[in-house]
Structure 1
């Protein structure tokens, strides 16, 4: 499953899942749990609250782009290292990094079910 899991996560980051709820639902397990250590503290998200976070971010920016630099997989787990870039509504001509992330995704039933993530701002 390692190659299939890696392909699923790669496809997720290249998809419109961060813009369209229908696409998000194709990739994300209904029992999603995201455990996120960020510069603002520790948060836990479920299927709905993670979509609400994504939706809120997409409304705040002109565009979001995920640049994956590393992706490793073993069995049903995939580790991804990426930079999140954005174009602001105020300055859509300039793309800037806003954060660096490492996420470990667990795949179940062909969907992303569990994520352990850490991030820090690019500033």
Structure 2
């Protein structure tokens, strides 16, 4: 039984996809495109460059946690509002918010294939 788009996105944020490349590959389409407006500008990532971003972030943080506050869906599109929390290597006992995000994901062939995202730092 396949998951609905909403349940798939929810499972993605609750998974180890941001730590484990095999899990990442289970959720994300090989033709992935992420269009990201952030405080540092506009970036476009594909399947490989997004994984490279995740890998480089993992070097700076002891852990990352995604706290989803809103998730809405219509057919194969899902909007998610979440806060990204981290524990730094320098201070692993304190979890702090590092950013606020709104993402709109589009599903294709049962995988997350496209994301339009905006974010700003929590500071």
TM-score of Structure 1 vs Structure 2, range by shorter chain: over 0.9
Partner of 1:88: 88
RMSD: 0.7
String of CA shifts for 1:53-81, please: whole Å, max 9, x gaps: 01111111000000000000000000000
Detail structure 1 runs of 4+ shifted over 4 Å in the superposition. Answer: none
The equivalent residue for 1:56 is 56
Residue 104 of structure 2 aligns with which residue? 104
Match of 1:5 in 2: 5
TM-score by length of 2: 0.97
Match of 2:75 in 1: 75
- Give 1:47 shift: 0.2
What is the rounded CA distance, in whole Å, between the counterparts of 2:104 and 2:19 in structure 1? 21
State how far apart, in whole Å, the 1-side matches of 2:30 and 2:83 are: 26
For structure 2, list consecutive stretches of 5 or more residues without a partner in the other structure.
Answer: none
Q: How many residue pairs are counted as aligned between the two chains?
A: 121
Where structure 1 has 5 or more consecutive residues not aligned to the other structure, the ranges are none
